[in-house]
Amino acid sequence: MTRRSDLMLEQFSQLLNEQGDYCDYGCSEEMVEQAIALARELFPNKPCCVVARWCWADVEIDPRQAQEIEEAGVKPCFLYANKIIFDERNRWVEGSFVRTTLLEAFHYQCIFSSKNTNYILCGPGVRLTVIPAVYNDFSSD
């Protein structure tokens, strides 16, 4: 295998196994309903999905690519969660995983808003940096 393939496998493993730097974003279970209400107020046309055991992944890209992504209205990061607690539109089975599209906005340290969905981060998670291939090889919301 090439070094790039090894790196990609290592980073996939880190995502799946929630390995990275501790990240205290996320709300407590007691605050989930309040976070959903805030998300609906901020982005009324997006459904909410509550997730736990999550990993915030920053995509490592060069400055030119970062500028292009920012101009498109998103940031080079996504969320991978090992556990869906609740999905307002029943798109995914409770307990399954999800990989989001790129971040559009992040509010109140617990609302990760992608193109289609407001993800409510429940509890702490991890944060790491990945190469673009890791993001591209997942199916998305």
d(CA 80, CA 89): 18
Check: CB of residue 74 under 8 Å from CB of residue 68: no
- Hey, what amino acid is at 134? V
pLDDT of 71-126, one tens digit each?
999 999 999 999 999 999 998 889 999 999 999 999 999 999 999 999 999 999 99
Distances in whole angstroms, Cα of residue 110 to Cα of each of 33, 71, 96: 12, 24, 20
Nearest-CA neighbor of 29 among 139, 122, 141? 122
pLDDT band at 4 (very low <50, low <70, confident <90, very high): confident
Q: Hey, which residues does 79 pair with through a beta bridge?
A: 56
Where do the domains of the chain lie? 26-136
pLDDT of 117-135, one tens digit each?
999 999 999 999 999 999 9
pLDDT given for residue 5 in this prediction: 84
Which stretches does DSSP call E strand in 27-95?
Answer: 48-59, 77-87
